[in-house]
Amino acid sequence: MENYMNENFFEVKAKHSPIEVLQKWRNLCGVVKNPKRRFRFTANLSKRGEAAAMRKSNQEKLRIAVLVSKAAFHFMEGVPAGDYVVPEEVKAGGFEICADELGSIVEGHDVKKLKFHGGVDGIARKLLTCTTNGLTSDNELLKRRQEIFGINKFAEAQARSFLVFVWEALQDMTLMILAVCAFVSLIVGIAMEGWPEGAHDGLGIVASILLVVFVTATSDYRQSLQFRDLDKEKKKISIQVIRNGYRQKMSIYDLLPGDVVHLSIGDQVPADGLFFSGFSVLIDESSLTGESEPVIVNTENPFLLSGTKVQDGSCKMMITTVGMRTQWGKLMATLSEGGDDETPLQVKLNGVATFIGKIGLAFAVVTFAVLVQGLFTRKLREGTHWSWSGDDALEMLEFFAIAVTIVVVAVPEGLPLAVTLSLAFAMKKMMNDKALVRHLAACETMGSATSICSDKTGTLTTNHMTVVKSCICMNVKDVDRQNTASSFSSGIPDSAVKLLLQSIFNNSGGEVVVNKEGKFEILGSPTEAALLEFGLFLGGDFQGERQTSKLIKVEPFNSTKKRMGVVLELPQGGLRAHTKGASEIILAACNKVINSNGEVVPLDEATNDHLNATINRFASEALRTLCLAYMELENGFSPNDSIPLSGYTCLGIVGIKDPVRPGVKESVAICRSAGITVRMVTGDNINTAKAIARECGILTDDGIAIEGPDFREKSQEELLELIPKIQVMARSSPLDKHTLVKQLRTTFDEVVAVTGDGTNDAPALHEADIGLAMGIAGTEVAKESADVIILDDNFSTIVTVAKWGRSVYINIQKFVQFQLTVNVVALIVNFSSACLTGNAPLTAVQLLWVNMIMDTLGALALATEPPTDELMKRSPVGRRGNFISNVMWRNILGQSLYQFIVIWYLQVQGKALFQLNGPDSDLILNTLIFNSFVFCQVFNEISSRDMEKINVFKGILDNYVFVAVLSSTALFQILIIEYLGTYASTSPLTLSQWFFSVFIGFLGMPIAAALKMVPVSSS
């Protein structure tokens, strides 16, 4: 079986499997009992093809639109204005432009139409909005705007009702065949014996089918509700919007044409719109068009398309077109029907189900042939082979029903669906634990993780930053907020404080705004917020400083350059550049410094050493260090020029405190005991990184801390020796992170989880087996590349994800072990009995009940076990572990052998053992066999709670689903035996017979415990 699986089903990966590979395994599973149910949670490949075609079409449309707009730009002068008539309903709403016209301007990149409507300002007037204050929150006007222009949501497939799931459960081919058998049985039975005696067998099968269908549909419907809730969470995206003159966070689904939106690096453009102010904006349109080359957006090319990503820069845009009127809305409506990729476990278990199904089908055919041959032999012996009665027809029908039911039991259709059930349950619980799973496969892959590469800031630390130390004009001071700004500034020349405030407030990606309550609020990343707070502490005025100078150019911070820069036009004339970033990089770009007297002096070796020593001292105290510098520029500087990289004057160095999160050290220790290596990969100073890593327990005495530039220089041979020892990588670029992840995955065959929050982390998140994006600090680009979003940005949550991943993997193994045991025993018992005695002890109705115990109910009981701390004391499965392990085979074969021996003994010696005589002796014996078999499964279900430990009762009462399934199985079994015998072909049992049946089942538990003591190799 392992060889069959390896050859046909192991090509499907957790991420980025080619369409051909996904199609291949589907073809191998061509004949299944219920394709609608089996393939419900797999990707819709035809819809994906449609989405790819739509992207190609978009690419061609945009290419033509750009060419036309360029041509129009050259020949616009002298061209008469186009005719545009405002529709009456739009006029009645108070607007002067309709949604279709707006759509044609942006989607068509129509510069001519844009100019005709008066540019961005003209369209803003026609939309009754203002580029400074945004829309007003007048509910009546917002409602009118919504009616005329639509809402920013794309059409989604309607949620399926419970009856749809009932209908799909009825599509099971074997159940349909059994339904036909039941119908024929009813007709023949009633014709021969009359109503109601002749209808019992047929009605028994019908009732069993309905029970199976409704239990299956209920389970599937609950799963669909869980997935729907998770989909809602995935779509929660917020963006910065100006309304009523106030900047605020808002859901992208509440945006309307006329809204003014702030975009920064890593954001997704939430709707079609027009750029009207900003710097260095590069847009990645690949998600919409498949085109990888970024597009420059500025006043000459102001068109922004929904679903595209901001690759660099920042800007303000005005929304013009929303929802299904945009190409992105149409594309998303198609993509949403494409579904998630199937997970490797789903595919493997589809393979197992197919393999065993073929064996089951062969057994069923042989069983039917043997039973029919037995009937013919008997009739030949009796000399009645030419005369056939209704009883003979009913007996033949029963043989056929038994053969079909063997297929029902033998084909473990529930295996791949148990994966989905377990994943749905785990994803819902993980949501409560602050982890949002975007891709199903990540849930199970995380259980095999052997390595975690974690960011420092915000993941291992709290991300609540404050400036606690500074070195300004060569004076090192503690920033004590108990003291006044004047006492802190004493000893620092006024000219230097003024330059410092100009640098802090202008060279910033954050803002200080007045909120609705009239209080100051700082917006921006934690680092920017810490600096702005420091500027306010020094007595600075953010708005006043911003209005004094004019911004000429902005180069936003990114993790490759590790610096940010701006160029200002000063009120008295002249240009000044400010820069800030990684201390050693900015200091290396300086050749002058402001001394304690406020004078600009050359940066000599002694001063440089003093500043470097200060940086190292701050860093060794686990502080993030930033250096601020400026330079005067010549008037020949153009906004198209790059900001200079050297020749600066050092203004000062600040040390920012970002405390380690509580519980991180314990979480790292748990990972170590679980065989998971934790590495810190950060852009920070190496001394800061080492101090934090030691505090977290990541950096040990035998571990190595390395800087990104050094790592880049190493040869492949050196990396082979170095990578296993690396515990900290500081001053790393996104490329370094990507290289480390790729080496760990390919060269060392590790299963790697990676955290990321920035746009540049996307390649590493994409490369990793599990990409973990930060929910608070993460950009939309990072989140979209990730498999799991850590909603609280906490490292401890990553450990919880690993624990749930292991739980999913182990739970499915438990269920597979349980189901294969039932499969093997039911198959061999009915087959061997048919061959040797000419009849089957388990009837169609009984086998359907057994099928429900092992399929839907078994999955509910075993696949929803919550994780335990014990899971994190095992070694990880890794990339090469066999899913059906030797431990499982030992348990399956041992338990199957015990059950088969017991049931076979009952069949041979049961009558003598219980002194059964008379016409009902066969019925009572078969009831005893059926009852013993069911209780063997009940107790085997308990034994399957742990595949290796003897104590299987630990925490059993914590899983109410397990207790409920077990209780209902036992209760319903009593009802079947004692009260439903007419329909289920059973007879009420005596107290001693009940005791014997339950004892036989219970005896399987000590045998299972004994089996667990038999050592087996892991490979």
Sheet containing 435-437, strands listed edge to edge, beginning at the edge strand earlier in sequence: 435-437, 788-790, 770-774, 752-756, 451-454, 677-681, 726-730, 704-707
Cis peptide before 196 (omega within 30 of 0): yes
Statement: residue 3 has pLDDT above 90: no
Between 139 and 70, whose confidence is greater?
139
* pLDDT tens, residue by residue, 974-1017: 998 998 887 778 889 999 999 999 999 999 999 999 999 998 87
Is residue 792 annotated as a catalytic residue, yes or no? Answer: no
Statement: residue 277 has pLDDT above 60: yes
Which pLDDT belongs to residue 626?
Answer: 94
Give the pLDDT mean for 775-799: 84
Statement: residue 621 has pLDDT above 80: yes
Q: Point out the least confidently predicted range of 357-361, 469-473, 572-576, 792-796.
A: 357-361
End-to-end CA distance of the chain: 15
Give the pLDDT mean for 802-829: 86
* pLDDT tens, residue by residue, 915-950: 888 888 888 998 999 999 999 999 999 999 998 888
Range with top average pLDDT, 344-348, 693-697, 745-749: 693-697
pLDDT band at 677 (very low <50, low <70, confident <90, very high): very high
CA distance 584 to 589: 9
Statement: residue 815 has pLDDT above 90: no
Prediction pTM value: 0.79
Residue 1002 structure tokens = 């219970």
Classify strands 704-707 and 726-730 as parallel, antiparallel or unpaired.
Answer: parallel
Give the pLDDT mean for 208-234: 77
Q: Point out the least confidently predicted range of 134-143, 476-485, 963-972.
A: 476-485
Residue 808 structure tokens = 């999913």
Statement: residue 70 has pLDDT above 60: no
Give the pLDDT mean for 157-183: 77
Give the pLDDT mean for 725-731: 92
Classify strands 272-284 and 246-251 as parallel, antiparallel or unpaired.
Answer: unpaired
Measuring CA to CA, how many Å separate 759 from each of 100, 508, 533, 624? 33, 18, 26, 21
Which residues, 6+ apart, have CB-to-CB distance to 799 below 8 Å?
667, 670, 671, 872
Catalytic residue (choose from 455, 658, 793, 946):
455
Statement: residue 879 has pLDDT above 60: yes
Torsional class of 278: left (φ above 0), alpha (ψ -120 to 50), beta (otherwise): left
Which pLDDT belongs to residue 76?
Answer: 46
Measuring CA to CA, how many Å separate 117 from each of 91, 122, 140, 277, 322? 16, 6, 26, 18, 19
Statement: residue 306 has pLDDT above 80: yes
Between 984 and 145, whose confidence is greater?
145
Q: Are 454 and 678 in contact (CB under 8 A)?
A: yes
pLDDT band at 113 (very low <50, low <70, confident <90, very high): confident
Statement: residue 656 has pLDDT above 90: yes
Which pLDDT belongs to residue 79?
Answer: 45
pLDDT band at 73 (very low <50, low <70, confident <90, very high): very low
Of 206, 395, 205, nearest to 840 (Cα)?
395
Statement: residue 143 has pLDDT above 70: yes
Q: Are 264 and 308 in contact (CB under 8 A)?
A: no
Statement: residue 587 has pLDDT above 90: yes
